[in-house]
Amino acid sequence: MNKLLSQLPADLAPEKLPQHIAIIMDGNGRWATQQGLPRIAGHRQGAKTLKELLRCCKDWGIKVLTAYAFSTENWRRPTEEVDFLMLLFEKLIHRELAQMHREGVKISFIGDLSPLPKSLQQKMQHSMLETANNQAIEFNVAVNYGGRQEITQACRHIAELVQRGELNPELINENLITQNLYTTSIPEPDLLIRTSGEMRLSNFLLWQMAYTEIYFTDTFWPEFDRSAFHQALLHYQKRNRRFGSINLTLSA
């Protein structure tokens, strides 16, 4: 990679970079159709885009990247597409793990992994264990992830503690719920990027994104490159994050 490209662009302020970026990688199918290719070709290309973005985040000093790869609703797609995606995830882990490990990537899979093919689950567990102590960047991949499902399982777990007499209901607070999500040790996203022009959350990180800045772009995911990412970060750096307060320096 050209040295210049790997550096943070001069018009971005390093101290104002988002720590954690969440991505809804959307538009693979439409991109492929537009090229006269089958939808699966879009997923294959989308995987390359994700690999590039991960490297870019690492180069530019972003600490956490969380990508939505498969939602709890995506099982509604044709079996051939679902099967292709499961196989693609497995192949990607097999092909990319060694290099990600060398580059210091700490990988985690979030979501209900139990209905996934056993061989995929094994590869996921292995890659999480192998990279657990890496520190260059945290890379979270949401597979069979749904925000409502995540909150529901947290409620169930907390209710079980109460039922066993191990928890006083008065001690249930936002912190305890946060601790029972798949993202326990992951900070809340500062920025969400969704590609392909759709403007919705599609059940992604519902609890965690209460105060996340959202950036939508019409670009299809397979075409979301470094310069598109640069644009997203420029927009983010112009936002004024108030968290319900007021900006004292601006209010007269």
| Feature table: binding site | 26-31, 39, 43, 71-73, 75, 77, 194, 200-202, 213
State the CB neighbour count (10 A cutoff) for residue 51: 15
**69 near ligand IPE, rule: CB under 6 A:** yes
Least spacing, CB of residue 26 vs Mg ion, in Å: 4
Residue 83 is a catalytic residue:
no
26 contributes a contact to Mg ion by CB under 5 A? yes
Nearer to ligand IPE, 18 or 46 (CB): 46
105: alpha, beta or left? (left if phi > 0; alpha if psi -120 to 50): beta
Residue 83 or 198 with smaller CB distance to Mg ion = 198
Q: Which residues contact 180 (CB under 8 A, 6 or more apart)?
A: 153, 154, 157, 158
Given 26, 140, 180, 190, which residue is catalytic? 26
Nearer to Mg ion by C-beta: 32 or 57? 32
Residue 107: strand, helix, or coil: strand
Pick one of ligand IPE, Mg ion, none as the site partner of residue 237 (Cβ within 5 to 8 A by kind): none
Task: Tell whether residue 222 is a contact of ligand IPE (CB under 6 A).
Answer: no
Nearest C-alpha neighbor of 147 from the set 208, 218, 206: 206
**59, 74, 112, 203: which one is catalytic?**
74
* Long-range interactions of 41-47: CB distance < 8 A, separation 24+: 42/220, 42/221, 42/222, 43/84, 43/85, 43/88, 44/88, 45/222, 46/221, 46/222, 47/88, 47/92
Q: Which two tokens stand for residue 34?
A: 């537009």
Check binding of 149 to ligand IPE (CB under 6 A).
Answer: no
Quote the least distance from Cβ 175 to ligand IPE, whole Å.
28
Selected binder of ligand IPE within 30, 44, 51, 230 (CB under 6 A):
30
- Please identify the residue of the shown chain whose CB is closest to the bound ligand IPE: 29
What is the side-by-side order of every strand in the sheet holding 191-194?
Answer: 105-110, 137-145, 64-71, 20-24, 191-194, 213-216
- CB distance 209 to 188 below 8 Å: yes
**Known binding residues for Mg(2+):** 26, 213
Among 80, 83, 160, 198, binds ligand IPE (CB under 6 A): 198
Q: How far is the CB of 105 from ligand IPE (least distance, A)?
A: 20
Tokens representing residue 140 in the block: 């979270």
SS3 57: helix
| Closer by beta carbon to ligand IPE, 74 or else 134 | 74
The residue ranges that bind ligand IPE (CB under 6 A) are 24-30, 68-71, 74, 85, 196, 198, 200, 202
Active site residues: 26, 74
